[in-house]
Structure 1
Amino acid sequence: MVGEAKIKNAARLAAVAFSFFLYAASFEPWGIAECAYVFAVPAILAARSLFSEIPAPKPPEQAVRRRRRSGPDFLEIPDGGEGGRAPFKAEPCARALWLISTFAFSYAAWAATLAWLRHVYPPAGWAAALLLPLIISGLFVWPWFALLPRLLPALRDDPAKRLLRYGGIAGAWVCLEWLRAHLFTGFPWLLLAHSQWRRPAAIQTAEFGGVWMVSFIVIFFNLAAAEYIWRLYARQKFRISDNFSTRPPFGRFCPEIYAAILFVMAGLFVYVKNLPSRANEIPAFRAGMVQTDFAGILKWDDALAEDNMRVISRLTAGLKSARADVALWPEAATPPRWPVIGCPPMREWIERLSKSTGLPILMGNMAYFEDSQKAQNGAFFVSPETGLSEEFYGKRKLVPFGEYVPKWASPIGKVVPVGDMARGESEAPISARIAGKDYKIGPMICYEDIFPQLGRDMALNGADILFVCTNDSWYGREGGAWQHAAHSALQAAATRRPLLRSSNNGLSAVFDQYGRMRPSFVLRDSGGKVWDASTPSPAPAMDVSDESGRPVDGRTLRPKRPSPMLDDSGSIYFRGAGYSDVVFYKNFDGKRTLYVEYGDWFAGACAAVFCLSCAPALAGGFRKNPDAPKKA
């Protein structure tokens, strides 16, 4: 029996490991979104096999006497009188196996996902790559798996009770994600919902409950699928052990799987109901995007300042060949030592560039205030007619250890060798006139778009369009920029606002009101290669459409698929410029979504369902056998 127990434990370990392999694979850079719907199933089944026992037929009297003489087998439930069974607890080794394996593999999954952190100002980046996965997995992922054995319902429970219990367990996952977005400085990087960012139909429910509703649906599907599989297995095992002579004491009906399918179909229904169509589009303007591809650390070097300005000037001027209506610049697009507010020559230079090209510029840049001796990371609008607008947005969510040091961590110091930044206070959008029309732009700088509430604040305060300017060169050229971009898709879908995204050398794209990327085109030189500003100007861009009006790739003459700006090798990491058309949809015109109106109401509902359905289970021991009938 010892050998058999070892084999079973090894199988359970493999199941847990496979679960967290699927969990990591559901996010970028692997991006297999479908893995998110089944990632927890192997681990849940392992928890069932460790901490739950399938009811067995009543044994003959001879077998009862034989078992009393030999003692119970490993994980076997002893007879409890009255035809029932005594409360069951897994052996300490089984409990330890579960806790240690789920912790170790959850950490491994997050360490693999955040491995790109080592590029952020090494060697400090290596410390972040080791410690941040420990915090995320240890405080916000592992506790769900650690408590799971207590929370799983019994096979004998009636369907309504099981359904409510599973709703509470899924709600617990959402509550942990919500806490991750708010505790300490908050870091809601890659919530479960963000695994679906390239599946537009899967994220449409975000307009009702934000990312929290999407995460709930995905994790509930995992729970329902595991329950369905376990119930099929348990029924067959019972019937085989009883030679198919009696019915199992638990039903076949599994409402959880029907509810899970219904939730998934709800997102598809919302998408089909508001199906995007050319007839429903309202063309707005053409956004030109600039990627200067200067490394974050090097941009603080004065020796590269002139090269930086030459490149961005040429790339911006090149957008005229694409008939762009506005130029989007990334975060801190020009040398940060020369802020647009606080350095008059830099302001004059940008205003002259805007006037000479005839292009408004929506950009990330710096402001410096003499009175407070503080710098501020901001988003600004420059008009060809009126110059730099005095109205600008100051970054509200500063990067810990990069732009400021939390008071509790002052002995540690900063990672990036720059002064402390002033925190922005205003949630108001900034005004911009583009293509002859006035818009309210809701900026988010750097990693601010990972915070769902910031996009909601902008939409609530009247933003027509969201704008993300970022410098992803800190992340290296791996999966960091792709992971970061996933949050923009959910912001667009939850607020039903188009989102313009400009990155220094990461993912630059336009997202529509469905959270889909619009087709993006890059400027090319006369030889057909991606133009990198090494020559004065690019070749004229061609506007080609098919009979339905869809944009066509000028090189392949095939409909252009939704994508960010890509170079010839398919990489987002390059120097160049491009463009994408911004459209609005009539069915969302003037609409304020339920999420924008009421915020994190769904996370609160999840907390309520969790407390209602799971509190009694948490009050018990580590794990009692859920399938043992109660004594009369």
Structure 2
Amino acid sequence: MRSWWSVRGRGARTRIGPGRRALGCLHSPLRWVLAGIGLAFTFPPSPLGWLAPVWLALLFRAAATATPRQAMRLTWLFAVGLFGALLSWLPLSLAGTVGPAIVALYPLLVGLLAAMWALTAWLTRRLAGRLSLGAFPMAWAALEVARSWGPFGFTWGSLGYTLAQTPLVQVAELGGISLLGLLVGIAASALASRNRWMCGAALLLWGAALVFGVTRPGSPAGTQTALLVQGNVDPREKLAGQADADWQRYLRLTWRGLQRGAADLVLWPETAVTWATRPAALAQVPVPVLLGAAVTQAGQPFNSALLSLRGVVAGRYDKIRLVPFGEFFPGRRALNRVYQQVFSALGLPDLQGLTPGRAALTVGTGALRVGVLICYESTFPALARALVRDGANVLVTPSNDAWFGASQGAEQHFQMGRVRAIETRRWWLRVGNDGISAAVSPSGAVTVRAARFTAQAVPVTFTLQSGQTLAVRWGDAVPAGVALGWLLGTVVLRRRPGGEGGPSAGEGIE
């Protein structure tokens, strides 16, 4: 069987099979950008997640027969297509709320994310040589774990999310999103090899994951009620300052919801109010209120979630993972003048950034132990695991996706957070300023989802869950350990005399 796409290496024989006529009018760089766009369309909310390995196989097959430098180049092009399409909502949505100048930051982000993929391909080809095809899935698994580290961690585009709307997502309870990404990479590598034994092994692996997914027991019916209060406040108005109006809006919606039915817990969105201006009326609310609030303590601003019992703070969680260049600004003091000019161009006030929280700790009262993941934090599995280990029996995400407008950004954000429910087997309650407000069961099923862009209070049911999944206990250790062990073994095997098998960089693959 001839290769569909291949890359010209030193002395290579270039072979392009059935796709040549269809794509012959296109230059090679555009060809790889289009392939990356194809992979982007397998991420949620698309139902095409099953096809993710097919697009990734095209990249793996070509990169495995290219020189390291060529592999880096074509991978960068592929990743530009992937992240360019996946994050296309970013400039389109933010330009409408922040201003058109924000569009300039979009290519920088796409280029940086693509560079991470490109360097991974280059390093793998250098270390694994002819064994690269088997090493690629492990290298990508290690990359995606590393991409979640540090203050600049960014997990959008992790391969495992392509399976978020398939039954295979249930495997996340065993090894988290990293294990799902490994499944995608292994299938892609098997398809790229066109070896019947490798494809058969990958098929068996996916079959086992599918059986595991479809046989998981359903989630128990909810026994407690939460009231999700969606304020639908314009984010630019909040920046202009309207503290009293915000309080009145959320208190009014809360009372309306409680008049329609009793609730055990009331949830308000991220930074719904400013705590320093809290009214006495909050003391009249008869049930616990977990509210997102802007808090200033000792001159330090925090993005917090406060558990209020009749106006008295019974628990507080400060957001740990702040959004880079949104909630914290690297080198703010040294680059003060530059930041001021940028903010002025965007029509924003002189933002100073927030202070990060110190620890992932639960808040609660009685048997209720809430693990809070504020907005962006719901995309980081390690935080959810830490909260469950600290005793969380329900996960809650106060969020504000109003900056995204009607784009796909909010939906992608929601689908990523939904996987946290499966990884931890906890109910996940999400309340957004203008949505998405929803209740998600431990099986990942969306039991209630409120309409977006409306002010409303929506009752949902949930149950307090106990126990710890393997993903909670071990985190990324198992999939990352397997990946790193495999990579180390590949490097050792390659360095042994006669250890490199398969075609060389210039021989192509039959």
Question: TM-score band (shorter)?
Answer: 0.7 to 0.9
Partner of 2:408: 479
How many Å apart are 1:465 and its aligned residue? Answer: 0.8
Task: For 1:409 and 1:298, locate their aligned partners in 2 and report how far apart those are by CA, in whole Å.
Answer: 27
1:406 aligns with 2:330: yes
How many Å apart are 1:407 and its aligned residue? Answer: 3.3
Partner of 1:60: none
Matches within 5 A, 1:196-595: 196-199=163-166, 201-228=167-194, 231=195, 254-276=196-218, 281-302=220-241, 304-320=242-258, 321-334=260-273, 339-340=274-275, 343=276, 345-346=277-278, 348-352=280-284, 354-355=285-286, 359-369=287-297, 372-384=298-310, 387-407=311-331, 410-411=334-335, 412-413=338-339, 417=349, 418-433=351-366, 438-518=367-447, 520=448, 564-566=449-451, 572-583=452-463, 590-595=466-471
SS in 1 for 2:302: strand
Task: For 2:44 and 2:105, locate their aligned partners in 1 and report how far apart those are by CA, in whole Å.
Answer: 19
SS in 2 for 1:413: helix
Aligned partners of 1:465 and 1:498 also within 8 Å: yes
How many Å apart are 1:227 and its aligned residue? Answer: 2.1
Number of residues of Structure 1 aligned to a counterpart in Structure 2: 473
Q: Deviations over 1:27-82 (max 9, x none)?
A: 2454532232322133344457x65xxxxxxxxxxxxxxxxxxxxxxxxxxxxxxx
Task: For 1:151 and 1:22, locate their aligned partners in 2 and report how far apart those are by CA, in whole Å.
Answer: 28
The 1:287–1:391 alpha-carbon spacing in structure 2 relative to 1, beyond 3 Å, is closer
Q: Which amino acid aligns with 2:481?
A: G
The 1:607–1:626 alpha-carbon spacing in structure 2 relative to 1, beyond 3 Å, is farther
SS in 2 for 1:327: strand
SS in 2 for 1:26: coil
Matches within 5 A, 1:118-267: 118=91, 119-120=93-94, 121-123=98-100, 125-139=102-116, 141-146=117-122, 168-183=135-150, 185-199=152-166, 201-228=167-194, 231=195, 254-267=196-209
The 1:473–1:378 alpha-carbon spacing in structure 2 relative to 1, beyond 3 Å, is same
Task: For 1:331 and 1:447, locate their aligned partners in 2 and report how far apart those are by CA, in whole Å.
Answer: 10
The 1:391–1:307 alpha-carbon spacing in structure 2 relative to 1, beyond 3 Å, is closer
Aligned partners of 1:498 and 1:512 also within 8 Å: yes
Q: Which amino acid aligns with 1:143?
A: L
Task: For 1:420 and 1:408, locate their aligned partners in 2 and report how far apart those are by CA, in whole Å.
Answer: 8
How many Å apart are 1:623 and its aligned residue? Answer: 5.3
Task: For 1:361 and 1:463, locate their aligned partners in 2 and report how far apart those are by CA, in whole Å.
Answer: 17
Q: What is the TM-score of this pair, normalised by structure 2?
A: 0.82
Q: Which amino acid aligns with 1:425?
A: R
Aligned partners of 2:61 and 2:192 also within 8 Å: yes
The 1:261–1:401 alpha-carbon spacing in structure 2 relative to 1, beyond 3 Å, is same
Aligned partners of 2:232 and 2:453 also within 8 Å: yes
Aligned partners of 1:16 and 1:46 also within 8 Å: no
SS in 2 for 1:316: helix
How many Å apart are 1:580 and its aligned residue? Answer: 2.3
Aligned partners of 1:25 and 1:35 also within 8 Å: no
Task: For 1:326 and 1:185, locate their aligned partners in 2 and report how far apart those are by CA, in whole Å.
Answer: 33
Q: Where does the alignment leave 5 or more consecutive residues of structure 2 unmatched?
A: 1-12
Q: Which amino acid aligns with 2:457?
A: A
Q: Which amino acid aligns with 1:103?
A: W
How many Å apart are 1:408 and its aligned residue? Answer: 8.4
Task: For 2:15 and 2:173, locate their aligned partners in 1 and report how far apart those are by CA, in whole Å.
Answer: 50
Aligned partners of 1:22 and 1:35 also within 8 Å: no
Partner of 1:536: none
SS in 1 for 2:272: coil
SS in 2 for 1:407: coil
Task: For 1:328 and 1:317, locate their aligned partners in 2 and report how far apart those are by CA, in whole Å.
Answer: 13
How many Å apart are 1:106 and its aligned residue? Answer: 1.9
1:113 aligns with 2:86: yes
Partner of 1:27: 43
The 1:322–1:299 alpha-carbon spacing in structure 2 relative to 1, beyond 3 Å, is same
Q: Deviations over 1:232-271 (max 9, x none)?
A: xxxxxxxxxxxxxxxxxxxxxx332222223223333333
Q: What is the TM-score of this pair, normalised by structure 1?
A: 0.67
SS in 2 for 1:391: strand
Q: Which amino acid aligns with 1:267?
A: A
Task: For 1:408 and 1:137, locate their aligned partners in 2 and report how far apart those are by CA, in whole Å.
Answer: 26
